[in-house]
Structure 1
Amino acid sequence: MQTGFSAVAAAVLAGLAALIVAGAGPGLVAAPAVRLADLPKSQADSTVDVELVLAVDISYSMDPEEQALQREGYVAALTSPEFLAALKQGMHGKIAVTYVEWAGSADQRVLVPWRVVDGRGSAEAFAASIAEAPYRRAYRTSIAGALLFSADLFKDSGQRGIRRVIDVSGDGANNQGAQVDHVRDEVVAKGITINGLPLVLKRPNAATMDLEALDIYYEDCVIGGPSAFMIPIRDRTQFKEATRTKLVLEIAGRTPQARVIPAADTEPKAAPRVSCTIGERMWQQRWGRDFN
């Protein structure tokens, strides 16, 4: 019997055929049918369905096994039948994608530059470039830095997407650089959606700066924009399944019902359930000095 995340992921992936035929699958929010004539001129001139930045955490809090699983998750997702099926259902049947690794506020690198993925061959080539790149780890965690760096990449994608999405994954809270929720709002104001894949794998203790409520932190302080969502990973066995589910949803333009973030919320924003500066304060308490 499937429970928890596995059941949700199974429903999402099993419902992909229904999504393709009817516009929505189990546990999904259907996006309205889109025609080029109905889009604003800036989007009607689009060349791809999505411009997608895959931004992955390589800070030292990520142990080597987590790093490997994270990368393997994206490699497997990009070549999965579910992803390829979702890709072909887009208006253009292709996306532009780049893969970025990040750590501290001044440490972001493009591992695989922008490429157009339009089918199995280009997807496998992109995935192979990720798999073949050497691993590295670096100091500190700046989600804010990753978001600013990723947002700036869109100007050089060489394509115009109907949607622009940053897919950020990591296992810790922002502890360096600008305040993450302020940066989130700045990026979302540019028409970019931020989705999250928080790795909630470690139980906090006095010697670590792991955050037990990392999924809530991501939901309240990191993700945002049109139909933003996040999928937490709570067990190492979920890496590939969660990454595949998330990528399929992003390409298909759908969201899990429980994770919808309004694109333009006219109501006053609710106070975050966890402080958006908790990572900085944990760093300051742990090391007894300023967090920047």
Structure 2
Amino acid sequence: MIRAAALALAMTAGAAQAVCRQALILGLDISGSVDGAEYNLQLHGLASALTSPAVKEMALAAPEVPVHLLVFEWSGVSLQRVLVDWTPLTSEAAIDRIANTLLSTRRISRKGATAIGRAMDYAEYQFRQGPDCWTRTLDLSGDGKNNDGNFPELVRQQPRFNNITINGLVIGSDVSRGRDERQMELMELSAYYRRRVIHGPGAFIEVALGFADYARAMERKLLRELEGLVVGQLD
């Protein structure tokens, strides 16, 4: 049913004007608050989410007009690194190769601030270097508020972000903290992302209770984004 809907979408007027149906950038937080174990949980969680049967089915619904994916990591103003350059998701093998790249990635920095606005700028530059797609979506994962560089709420207001949707994946505190304290911090960070980070029609946040919950949260977010694209365009 998903593939039938996507193929119908590919046949609509204007489909030939784009080489893909969605340009999707995933930005991973590697600021100083993220330790080595949490860094690996993030990479392994993303690999797990991308290779889940449900995400694969949704992503590969119309390989004729594929989703194109880029993954980068970010922390302070001066630190951003592409882990997976623009790749069309045209087969399960292509998705598996991305997952293997993530699983073999090694961290190059163990410190840094949290520059969400700079991460937005970096992603916007990557969109301009990437394929021409019907939609452009930026996913920013993070466990803290902006404390370096331009404020994200000012960056997203610039006209160059008019056609970019920004969603967020908020990551809660370590499980060693008290339950009430963790819940309050998570609620506060979620409110921050809603007010200052996410952007565009239908933008939303997903919540991971901690880095160990990252895979589940990322899968839910990817499914919502990919499904929303097909249904929204058909509507």
The answer to whether the 8 A contact 1:49-1:161 is kept is yes
Which is greater in Rg? 1
Aligned match of 1:144:
117
- CA displacement at 1:21 relative to structure 2: 8.5
Distance 1:146 1:59 in 2: 12
Distance 1:47 1:98 in 2: 15
CA displacement, residues 186-245 of structure 1 (integer Å, 9 cap, x when unaligned): 2774300101001022559xxxxx954111111111011132111011144421111111
Q: 1:240 aligns with which of 215, 222, 234?
A: 215
**Are residue 104 (structure 1) and residue 76 (structure 2) matched?**
yes
Residue identity matched to 1:125 = R
Aligned match of 1:230:
205
- Unpaired runs of 5+ residues, structure 1, are 1-16, 24-32, 205-209, 256-292
- Give the direction of change, closer, same or farther, for the CA distance of 1:93–1:83 in structure 2 (3 Å limit): farther
- CA displacement at 1:100 relative to structure 2: 0.5
- CA displacement at 1:72 relative to structure 2: 0.8
Aligned match of 2:191:
216
Residue identity matched to 1:97 = L
- CA displacement at 1:90 relative to structure 2: 4.1
- Give the direction of change, closer, same or farther, for the CA distance of 1:236–1:139 in structure 2 (3 Å limit): closer
Distance 2:19 2:205 in 1: 27
- Give the direction of change, closer, same or farther, for the CA distance of 1:253–1:114 in structure 2 (3 Å limit): same
- Unpaired runs of 5+ residues, structure 2, are 179-183, 231-235
Distance 2:3 2:24 in 1: 24
Distance 1:222 1:188 in 2: 15
Q: 1:52 aligns with which of 24, 31, 50?
A: 24
By percentage of residues, which structure has more helix? Answer: 2
Query: TM-score, normalization: structure 1?
Result: 0.68
- CA displacement at 1:154 relative to structure 2: 1.1
- Give the direction of change, closer, same or farther, for the CA distance of 1:161–1:223 in structure 2 (3 Å limit): same
% same residue:
31
SS of residue paired to 2:206: coil
Aligned match of 2:147:
175
- Give the direction of change, closer, same or farther, for the CA distance of 1:226–1:35 in structure 2 (3 Å limit): farther
Distance 1:187 1:75 in 2: 33
**Are residue 156 (structure 1) and residue 129 (structure 2) matched?**
yes
Query: TM-score, normalization: structure 2?
Result: 0.83
Q: Give the root-mean-square deviation of aligned CA atoms.
A: 2.7
